[in-house]
Chain A
Amino acid sequence: MLAAWLKNHFQSVWRCCFSACMLPALALLARVLSSDLGPNPLALLLHTTGRSALVLLTATLAITPLRRWLTNLSAYTHQRYGKRLSDWNWLVRLRRLLGLSCFAYALAHAWIFAAFDLGYDWSAALSEVQEKPYVLAGLLALLILAPLAATSTQSMVRRLGRHWRRLHRLSYAAAVLGLLHFWWLTKPGLISPWPDTAALTLLLGYRAALYSGLLERWDGFDGKESLVRPT
């Protein structure tokens, strides 16, 4: 069973995941070093970092639902391994990596904007934040992500206890703000934010349904317990 194999090779899985997270940055670095940033270097830098941050935030938010869906899938397909939620615990151990990578890209994105778009002209920055919703949305998303990144260590998780989960639910707001930021920057007629919108709608919609109790009617589907109880 794949899940068992992945669990037993967690080190490799983590390294693969880490490499995947670094890939956009490495690709950009290669292009910077070979002076091959194309006709519009600033747009390329901003778009690559911004899109990477949003994709990684989506991946971070996918961990919890994925764990539950995979558990159900294993149960429905009568797998020997993987039908218990705990069988997928190793997925959670990837979440910090994804979340921190997201924050790193968001930070790089904001720095590139401040340095090359604004030229560190803070009065211009102020008027942009006041006038333009996309700058405000992006800034708010970054301000939300910062404390989440700061409290991502094991000791902070322990120290905050149940408050940690509540605090980190702010990532939902960051995702919505990030998505709005993307839409506000996109010219009408373009479809580039649709995949992100569809994925986040699914992930956040699932949680909304879960919290509102909508899924409780389906036994086991709410993820609170696996379909087949361990005997």
Chain B
Amino acid sequence: AGAGLGLPAAAAEGENPSALADIASYNNYYEFSTDKKAVKVLAQALTLKPWTVSVEGEVEKPYTVDADDLARLFGVEERIYRLRCVEGWSMVVPWSGFALSKLIERARPTSRARFVAFESLQRSSEMIGQRGGSLPWPYREGLRIDEAMHPLAFAVTGLYGQSLPKQNGAPLRLALPWKYGFKSPKAITRIRLVNEQPPTSWSQLSPSEYGFYGNVNPQVAHPRWSQARENRLGELQKRPTLPFNGYAESVAALYQGQDPKALY
């Protein structure tokens, strides 16, 4: 569990996890639909087997792993994380999976590896949202290598102790609790270690609204709406949003010398 990390803010301890029914039926997953409720139905069309994930690029030992072997290679632990969406809602999720650093370290990144680029599945025959141009496909995300290696960065394979539902990003997604939800790609197929900051889907679509970092910051409003408060799923009254989504103690050191206001 998250408490075993020895990081005081690692887990959302003392907070009630959101209901599984909510977590698994309120999904932003544009590969299927821009309608959060439709995703649950449409995502069932996705074929999960076979599924491989490759780790390549600026590494000594590139490798490809079958999604079925992830648990055997990297183990499984549970972490209860808060998730804050850039749209202004949030939930508390009991994820299961393993530290993202394990997946990356296995390939032995070289000194040229400064960023990590993630690529999600592109398969418009099953992902019908990809037939429209809502976003540039495949979905791309990226992290600085120190962010990706941070102990909080989590590779997710399960939810509530069960395998990950398709609508939540099966078989492999990320959970980066100090960043807005769009920074955590779903259905990952390719991880590339790169030297330059990689392009990311949302910042390609609208650079003024979505930056590369996407760190949760109540002080920096989205250009068109406030980020000061959030809607915890299941609650009617909004609550204040915390800097780095409440994980500042763990991750603020990553951004020393950088203006946190510029890291949206």
Interface residues of A (CB under 8 A from B): 37-43, 116-119, 124, 128, 131-134, 184-185, 187-191
Contacts and interface: CB of A to CB of B under 8 A. Distances in A.
Given A39-B233, A43-B231, A189-B205, A133 B224 contact: yes
A39 B237 contact: no
B54 interface: no
Given A39-B233, A40-B231, A41-B236, A190 B22 contact: no
Contacts of A134: 224-225
A51 B234 CA distance: 22
Interface size class of B (residues with CB under 8 A): 20 to 34
A187 B201 CA distance: 14
17 contacts: A38-B26, A38-B37, A39-B18, A39-B19, A39-B22, A39-B26, A39-B234, A41-B235, A116-B237, A118-B238, A131-B226, A132-B224, A133-B224, A134-B224, A134-B225, A189-B30, A190-B134
B228 to A, nearest CB: 7
Contacts of A39: 18-19, 21-22, 25-26, 233-234
Contacts, number: 62
A48 B133 CA distance: 27
A42 B238 contact: yes
Nearest to B231: A42
Interface in B185-236: 205-206, 209, 221, 224-226, 228-229, 231, 233-236
A34 to B, nearest CB: 15
Given A39-B22, A40-B26, A124-B228, A119 B238 contact: yes
Contacts of A187: 87
- Mostly helix, strand, loop or mixed at chain B's interface? loop
A118 B234 CA distance: 17
Contact of A40 (B135, B221, B233): B233
A37 B231 CA distance: 14
A132 B227 CA distance: 11
B163 interface: no
B34 interface: yes
Nearest to B25: A39
B160 interface: no
Contacts of B206: 188
Given A132-B225, A189-B205, 15 more contacts: A38-B26, A38-B37, A39-B22, A39-B26, A42-B235, A42-B237, A42-B238, A124-B228, A128-B226, A132-B226, A187-B87, A188-B205, A189-B133, A190-B34, A191-B34
In the complex, which of the residues B134, B205, B226 has the most CB atoms of chain A within 10 Å of its own CB atom? B226
Contacts of B18: 39
Nearest to A37: B236
B89 interface: yes
A136 B102 CA distance: 48
A189 B132 CA distance: 10
B67 to A, nearest CB: 28
A15 to B, nearest CB: 33
A217 to B, nearest CB: 40
